[in-house]
Amino acid sequence: MNENAPQNFTPLSSLGEFGLIDRIKGNFTPRNAEVSKGIGDDAAIYAIGNGEVHAVSTDLLVEGVHFDLSYVPLAHLGYKSVVVNLSDIYAMNCVPFGITVSLALSNRFTVEAIDAFYQGVKKACEFYGVDLLGGDTSSSRSGLMISVTAMGRGRAEEVVYRNGAQVNDLVCVTGDIGAAYAGLQILEREKSVFLKNPEIQPDLGGFDYVVGRQLKPEARKDVIEELRTANVRPTAMIDLSDGLASDLRHLCRDSNTGATIYEEKIMVDHQVHTIAEEFQIAALTMALNGGEDYELLFTVPLDVFERISMVKDVYVIGHIEDVSAGVNIVTQSGGFFPLEAQGWNHFRESE
Ligand code: ADP
Ligand code: MG
């Protein structure tokens, strides 16, 4: 039998991104005792002694998949590449201290362009108090690729994993969501207008907030610090990179729970509503499936309700249920729907 016969190959689309990660994870159980979390959370966690841990997380950004240089300024891209990784460190309730940045570049980039990228990297390092520790540089034949790894530290007992949610816990989200996706729609629209008629200048007027959320997101360092001050430790946490629906399902799957959330409790900026109307997409769809918000989704015990209500920019949007209940949303009109995970699956058949 020919092992290479096409019928023996399985298309990646049959697994999807998350299925593929599960498959890899199944083959690599950590063998070192200091590793308390390997594959499967926002960052890996390993003990460094005296009750201290380090957190490490990595992300790969690929031109044409994650960003489009026709409307993303390189300084913003440098900033965002760092921030999306720091967000994963905060999502473990750890504090980042270092990054490495690796680039694959083609000749079309100038020294000035790379300087601009690193200005963004530097700005993020300054704002979040992290050091650029190294990286790697390669040539590329197919666009720009950016790989950033972030490292953080924390106390073992303070680390928050995705899998700690308990029935009756409150489900909390920071800030408003759907804005980064709405901003992307505006940038894509202006790009297609420009391609049809280069005389027309982009019109981003009135949409500065959502465009900013897409081009220059922030990690919720502030909320992590405020939770610490308020003496609230979440039971489970994840950052919102794929979209609330997908990320809540991850958290519930790992915690072996269900959840109910309420549309009326979810913060959505008015610019998102305006854009949703213009593009004829429900604002709720943008909020649930948009992704790239880099807000935090976490759960806390019911008895800290008063304390959590005092923390700025944290909203209680629902509660954790038994696994048998599933993961559902109650809409403003009283509908009750299972949350479909439509996060960005890079291997979707249609792509
Ligand atoms: P996030 O969105 O928080 O960055 P991902 O969905 O990218 O998380 O990854 C989930 C988990 O899978 C993480 O623990 C990550 O390190 C791991 N992971 C992703 N891709 C791979 C891979 N190719 N090999 C090993 N682990 C991976
Ligand atoms: Mg994450």
Structure confidence at residue 133 as a pLDDT band (50, 70, 90): very high
In this structure, which amino acid lies at residue 244? L
Whole-prediction pTM: 0.94
> pLDDT tens across 175-230, in order?
999 999 999 999 999 888 878 887 777 777 789 999 999 999 999 999 999 999 99
CB-CB neighbours of 190 under 10 Å: 19
CB-CB neighbours of 202 under 10 Å: 14
pLDDT(281) > 50: yes
Beta-strand pair 170-174/336-338:
unpaired
The protein residue with its alpha carbon nearest to ligand 1, atom 19, reads 21
C-alpha 41/C-alpha 161 separation (Å) is 7
Instruction: Pull the structure tokens for residue 180.
Output: 């980064």
According to the model, what pLDDT value does residue 204 have? 75
Among 12, 15, 21, which residue has the most ligand 1 atoms within 8 Å of its CB, making it the best to mutate?
A: 21
Ligand 2: centre distance to CA 238 (Å): 6
> pLDDT tens across 25-49, in order?
999 999 999 999 999 999 999 999 9
Beta-strand pair 52-62/44-49:
antiparallel
The protein residue with its alpha carbon nearest to ligand 1, atom 5, reads 42
Instruction: Pull the structure tokens for residue 330.
Output: 């109650």
According to the model, what pLDDT value does residue 341 have? 56
Task: Report the candidate in 281, 62, 83, 113 with the shortest Cα–Cα distance to residue 189.
Answer: 281
The set of protein residues with a Cβ atom below 6 angstroms from ligand 1 is 21, 24, 39-42, 59, 88, 241
Helix axes 221-229, 74-90, angle to 10 degrees: 30
